[in-house]
């Protein structure tokens, strides 16, 4: 079955050389994405989800980053490719859209110029063809009057429009994998739903896979088929989206779900929070990384780190006591 | 489809000319910038047309008419060899402006390259910026004299000397602007789109550093004119008998109490050129950087 995966990450470890020594932001992450699938990667700020994405594209600073493990894309290990081979992949095979649509476009060029640019790099189109294609892409992302918008500068577009333009740019070369790094965080709620629908529609239309990075479980429920939950650089639970909401196994995942305020809740009650704060990456605790914040903690959790175990078909969890907790 | 794309291009060019008009109107709003621009243009015209306005060449010696005050025949008077001062000032202006502009252009190009590459590659940055620190540590005029002393005093070497003196500041300014640009998300997005380093540096980072770059270029132009005049005054610049504003001043120094005009006229032109360029530079800065814009201040 391994060959059917579009992207397979095996034991990825990404470390940064900093003034305080080596900091491991992503520690032994493994997961895979199948063709046509939308994988959600969930976790709070600093849990390593964006670093994982940047590692797939190898966007991190060469001088101060150390990658270990393997990232297999269509049979090739991306971590072993030369810089030139990697450029062929970026934008062409794998594309990424960022959280901050406001600053993701160069202010001195029109959006048409910027969409046309990657078409000219990868598909070797001439300027006129690239522009026509850019208009087509903008139309596909639902921007009205694209033949006019194509000549506008980023500052003339609203946030939602800019994110649409970014999506048009990312998808212009018809990539097989789109990494969406919190694509809706910077947008207001009504636009969020539109952008998610758009990504979903385009996924079907262009027959690609999506890796959706988010901290918003609502987004996960909306678009994802499978979910990876990350905590402090590790995958702690991996499952399909139904069982994530119906029977979460890891105490952290449960906590996340309980954090979502419900309309029918008693309003006078305080909102639920997971106690404590995320430990710093340069001082990772011994044993289970979630132990200090876990309500079910015991002796073993404090001393030994659990492995990611497959407990049922397609459902993996990294916890000693999942079977006691789930009931 | 053919008609459709033509329509598209038409809309595009219309929008662009609209934006250009807006920029031009904002420029006209800034009175000092307009004055500076007019001065610079007039000086350039003056040094182009001037030589045809007088029958005297800049090197024609007339011992009978030494140190004549300004008259209808010799508009600016004559110098200690009886040479027509108007002709000398005009020809000297050509030299000064060409040397100043060439130095500014060369400084801009080299400064841009050094600034952009040192902002992009960290190790290169350490090497280049330490060299720049070393060069900045020398006083401008001293370093320039040392360089022309080694290379020999002629206009071409003066350009090289000024460039070496002025490049470090230019490189620093471009670098600091480029460092800000480099951290923007769109540079990361470009990398993620598969753009090469060359493309990121020249197509995307360079245009975003253009406003401090242009402003600094006008200042370098003005400073080059002063530096060139200084070098020529000290005999390290344009060699006699060829005129330049600096060496006319030097000739005038010995006879300053008998022939005030020999000091006055080149001084006026140096002052005008530097004033005009500085006003132009200030105006460009206001125009290109909305944060310091005079128009904004007035609104507040």
The pLDDT tens digits for B85-138 are 888 999 989 889 999 999 999 999 999 999 999 999 989 999 999 999 999 999
* Domain boundaries, position B176: 43-299
B290 touches chain A (CB under 8 A): no
Question: What pLDDT, on a 0 to 100 scale, did the predictor assign at position B10?
Answer: 53
Please indicate if any CB of chain B lies within 8 Å of the CB of A125: no
Q: Is B23 a member of any domain?
A: no
Cross-chain CB nearest to A59 (options B1, B8, B188):
B188
The single-letter DSSP state of residue B258 is: T
**Cβ–Cβ under 8 Å, residues B197 and B120:** yes
Of A98, A109, A150, the CB nearest to B189: A98
Quote the number of domains for chain B: 1
Q: What is the mean pLDDT of residues B277-289?
A: 85
B18 part of a folded domain: no
Residue B104 belongs to a domain with what CATH number?
Answer: 1.10.3720.10
Structure confidence at residue B292 (pLDDT): 54
Looking at the complex, report in whole angstroms how far the Cα of residue B198 sits from the nearest Cα belonging to chain A. 12
Reduced to 3 states (helix: H, G, I; strand: E, B; else coil), residue B84 is: strand
Torsion of CA B246, B247, B249, B255, to 10 degrees: 170
d(CA A198, nearest CA chain B) in Å? 20
The reply to whether A160 touches chain B by the CB within 8 Å rule is no
Mutation site, B125, B186, B204, B205, interface A, largest A CB count within 10 A: B186
Q: At B25, which helix (H) or strand (E)?
A: helix B2-29
Sorted by where each starts, the structural domains of chain A and their CATH numbers stand as: 2-93+175-325 (3.40.50.300)
Residue A92 with chain B: CB contacts under 8 Å? 194
Q: Tens of pLDDT along B238-276?
A: 887 888 999 899 988 888 888 888 899 999 999 999 999
Q: Give the model's pLDDT for residue B16.
A: 67
In a domain, B186, yes or no: yes
Residue closest to A210 by CA, chosen among A257, A202, A218: A202
Q: Is the pLDDT of residue B7 over 50?
A: no
Q: Is residue B3 in a domain?
A: no
* A87 closest CB neighbour out of B186, B194, B207: B194
- The contacts of residue A233 (CB under 8 Å, 6+ apart) are A24, A25, A26, A27, A29, A47, A48, A281, A284, A289
Among A88, A90, A131, select the one facing B192 at the smallest CB separation: A90
Residue B11 has pLDDT above 80, yes or no: no
Higher pLDDT, A37 or B77: A37
pTM for the model: 0.81
pLDDT at residue number B14: 64
Residue A117 touches partner B, C-beta closer than 8 Å: yes
Within an 8 Å CB–CB cutoff, is residue B63 touching chain A?
A: no
Sign of the torsion formed by the C-alpha atoms of A12, A253, A50 and A137: positive
Nearest residue of A to residue B182, measured between CA atoms: A106
Proportion of chain B above pLDDT 70, given as a percent: 91
CB pairs A-B closer than 8 Å: 83
The nearest alpha carbon in chain B to A60 belongs to B188
Considering only CB atoms, B189 lies closest to which of A104, A131, A151, namely A104
3-class DSSP assignment, residue B173: helix
Q: Is the pLDDT of residue B198 over 70?
A: yes
Instruction: Give residue-wise pLDDT tens across range B126-160.
Output: 999 999 999 999 998 999 999 999 998 888 999 99
Q: Using 50, 70 and 90 to split pLDDT, how confident is the model at B2?
A: very low
Instruction: Label each residue of chain A as H, E or C.
Output: CHHHCCEEEEEEEEEEEECCEEEEEEEEEEEEECCCCEEEEECCCCCCHHHHHHHHHCCCCHHHEEEEEEEEECCEEHHHCCHHHHHHHECCCEEEECCCCCCCCCCCCCHHHHHHHHHHHHCCCCHHHHHHHHHHHHHHCCCCCHHHHCCCCHHHCCHHHHHHHHHHHHHCCCCCEEEEECCCCCCCHHHHHHHHHHHHHHHHHHCCEEEEEECCHHHHHHHCCEEEEEECCEEEEEEEHHHHHHCCCCHHHHHHHHHCCCCCCCCCCCCCCCCCCCCCHHHCCCCCCCHHHCCCCCHHHHHCCCCCEEEECCEEECCCCHHHHCC
Residues facing A210 on adjacent strands: A38, A178
Q: What is the DSSP letter of B204?
A: I
Residues A23 and B153: their CA atoms lie apart, in Å, by: 58
Phi, psi angle pair for A321, to nearest 5°: -110, 20
Q: How close, in Å, is residue B188 to chain A by CA atoms?
A: 7
Range with the lowest mean pLDDT among B69-73, B164-168, B200-204?
B69-73
Residues 6+ away with beta carbon under 8 Å from A35: A4, A6, A176, A207, A209
Give me the average pLDDT of each 10-residue run along chain A (327 residues).
77 90 90 92 87 91 89 91 90 88 86 91 90 91 90 88 89 91 83 88 91 89 91 91 89 87 79 82 84 86 87 88 73
In a domain, B155, yes or no: yes
Residue B8: inside a domain: no
Closest CA to A179 of A253, A72, A93, A246: A93
Residue A326 has a pLDDT of 62
Q: Inform me whether the pLDDT recorded for B1 exceeds 70.
A: no
Residue B35 belongs to some domain of the structure: no
- What's the pLDDT at A276? 82
B266 found inside a domain: yes
| Rounded CA separation A7/A261 (Å) | 35
State the pairing for strand pair A209-214/A177-181.
parallel
């Amino acid at each position: 079955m391994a060959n059917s995966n579009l992207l397979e990450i095996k034991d990825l470890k990404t470390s940064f050389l900093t003034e305080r020594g080596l900091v491991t932001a992503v520690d032994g992450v493994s997961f895979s994405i199948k063709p046509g699938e939308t994988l959600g990667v969930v976790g709070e700020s600093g849990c390593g989800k964006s670093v994982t994405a940047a590692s797939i594209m190898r966007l991190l600073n060469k001088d101060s980053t150390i990658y270990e493990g393997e990232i297999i894309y269509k049979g090739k290990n991306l971590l072993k490719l030369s810089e030139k081979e990697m450029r062929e992949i970026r934008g062409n095979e794998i594309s990424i859209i960022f959280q901050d649509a406001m600053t993701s476009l160069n202010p001195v060029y029109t959006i048409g110029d910027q969409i046309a640019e990657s078409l000219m790099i990868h598909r070797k189109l001439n300027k006129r063809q690239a522009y026509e294609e850019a208009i087509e892409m903008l139309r596909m992302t639902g921007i009205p009057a694209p033949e006019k918008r194509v000549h506008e500068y980023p500052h003339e577009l609203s946030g939602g429009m800019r994110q649409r333009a970014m999506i048009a740019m990312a998808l212009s070369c018809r990539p097989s994998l789109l990494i969406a790094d919190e694509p809706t965080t910077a947008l207001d709620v009504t636009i969020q739903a539109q952008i998610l629908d758009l990504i979903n529609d385009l996924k079907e239309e262009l027959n690609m896979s999506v890796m959706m990075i988010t901290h918003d479980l609502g987004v996960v429920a909306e678009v994802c088929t499978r979910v990876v939950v990350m905590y402090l650089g590790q995958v702690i639970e991996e499952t399909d989206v139904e069982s994530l909401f119906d029977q979460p196994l890891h105490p952290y995942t449960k906590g996340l779900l309980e954090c979502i305020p419900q309309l029918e809740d008693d309003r006078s009650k305080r909102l639920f929070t997971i106690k404590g704060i995320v430990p710093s990456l340069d001082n990772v605790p011994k044993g289970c990384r979630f132990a200090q914040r876990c309500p079910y903690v015991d002796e073993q959790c404090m001393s030994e780190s659990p492995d990611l175990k497959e407990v049922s078909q397609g459902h993996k969890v990294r916890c000693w006591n999942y079977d006691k907790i789930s009931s | 489809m053919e008609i459709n794309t033509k329509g598209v291009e038409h809309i595009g060019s219309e929008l662009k000319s609209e934006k250009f008009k807006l920029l031009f109107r904002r420029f006209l709003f800034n009175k000092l910038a307009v004055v500076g621009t007019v001065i610079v243009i007039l000086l350039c015209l003056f040094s182009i047309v001037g030589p045809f306005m007088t029958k005297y060449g800049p090197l024609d010696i007339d011992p009978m008419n030494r140190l004549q005050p300004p008259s209808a025949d010799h508009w600016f008077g004559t110098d200690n060899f009886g040479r027509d001062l108007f002709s000398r000032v005009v020809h000297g202006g050509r030299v000064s402006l060409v040397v100043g502009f060439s130095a500014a252009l060369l400084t801009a190009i080299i400064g841009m390259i050094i600034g952009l590459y040192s902002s992009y590659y960290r190790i290169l940055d350490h090497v280049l910026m330490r060299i720049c620190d070393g060069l900045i540590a020398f006083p401008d005029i001293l370093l320039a004299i040392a360089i022309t002393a080694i290379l020999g005093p002629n206009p071409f070497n003066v350009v090289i000397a000024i460039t070496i003196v002025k490049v470090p500041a230019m490189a620093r300014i471009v670098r600091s602007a480029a460092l800000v640009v480099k951290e923007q998300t769109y540079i990361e997005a470009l990398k993620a789109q598969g753009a090469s380093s060359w493309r990121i540096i020249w197509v995307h980072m360079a245009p975003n550093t253009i406003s401090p770059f242009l402003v600094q270029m006008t200042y370098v132009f003005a400073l080059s004119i002063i530096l060139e005049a200084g070098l020529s005054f000290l005999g390290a610049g344009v060699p006699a008998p060829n005129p330049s504003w600096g060496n006319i001043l030097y000739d005038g120094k010995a006879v300053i109490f008998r022939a005030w005009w020999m000091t006055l006229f080149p001084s006026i032109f140096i002052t005008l050129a530097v004033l005009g360029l500085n006003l132009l530079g200030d105006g460009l800065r206001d125009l290109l950087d909305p944060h310091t814009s005079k128009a904004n201040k007035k609104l507040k």
